[in-house]
Amino acid sequence: MKAWTKRGALLLLALVMTLAAGCAKQETTEPEDTGESAPDRSLVIGYAENGVTVVQDPDQLSKEVAKMLEEAAQPGIGLSYRNDAFSTDGINFSCYVGNSTSNQYDAFIQIFADEALQDEVFLSQLLRPGQAFETLTLNHALPLGVTTCVVAFTQVELVDGEQSVHAQTFFTMDFHVVE
């Protein structure tokens, strides 16, 4: 029995030393030098100092959070449009774009012929929910072919008797000018 215990102890000691050596090897092995410095994986986020104020009313923070949650629970913007508009003169288009019946706010539509939102080709007046345009007359002609236009859909609400932007989204439509 003593021989077995001695052999078992030696075997166990050899196993522990092998594992320890493997761990030490793994711990001290550095990644291959690729000429790039290894990314710093430590993350420390400091405290904001500029433009910060102390909350004077502890209930105010709760009120603001409750307001944000209430606004987040409101339905999103419903879109109602067909992707393609068609014209033979580049100015008068047959299309469908409007304010969905699922929306609660009036909205206006602004259409740009460029991604930089500099070339405004159409600006509507307010549409009530459920109203839509079936034809549009642009400010200037689009060229022959297909122009992908950016459409800004902006919901408006009354705040203290004045119109204010409630929400806004953007989408694209293809305006086809055919002969």
165-176 tens-digit pLDDT: 999 999 999 999
Q: What is the per-residue pLDDT for 62?
A: 79
Domain count, the chain: 1
Range 152-163 average pLDDT: 92
pTM: 0.61
Counting residues of the chain whose pLDDT is more than 70, the rounded percentage is 76
Higher per-residue pLDDT: 92 or 23 = 92
Of 55-59, 77-81, 114-118, 127-131, minimum mean pLDDT range: 55-59
**Domain assignment of residue 24, yes or no:** no
Range 107-116 average pLDDT: 96
**Domain assignment of residue 64, yes or no:** no
**Domain assignment of residue 95, yes or no:** yes
143-177 burial by CB neighbour count: b if 16+ within 10 A, else e? eeeebebbbbbbbbeeeeeeeeebbeeeeebebbb
**Domain assignment of residue 101, yes or no:** yes
**Domain assignment of residue 106, yes or no:** yes
Give the CB-side neighbour count of residue 47, counting CA atoms within 13 A: 4
Say which CATH number the domain at 158 has. Answer: 2.60.40
**Domain assignment of residue 3, yes or no:** no
Counting residues of the chain whose pLDDT is more than 90, the rounded percentage is 53
**Domain assignment of residue 52, yes or no:** no
Q: For residue 116, what are the domain limits? A: 72-177
Q: Confirm if 91 and 141 have CB atoms less than 8 A apart.
A: yes
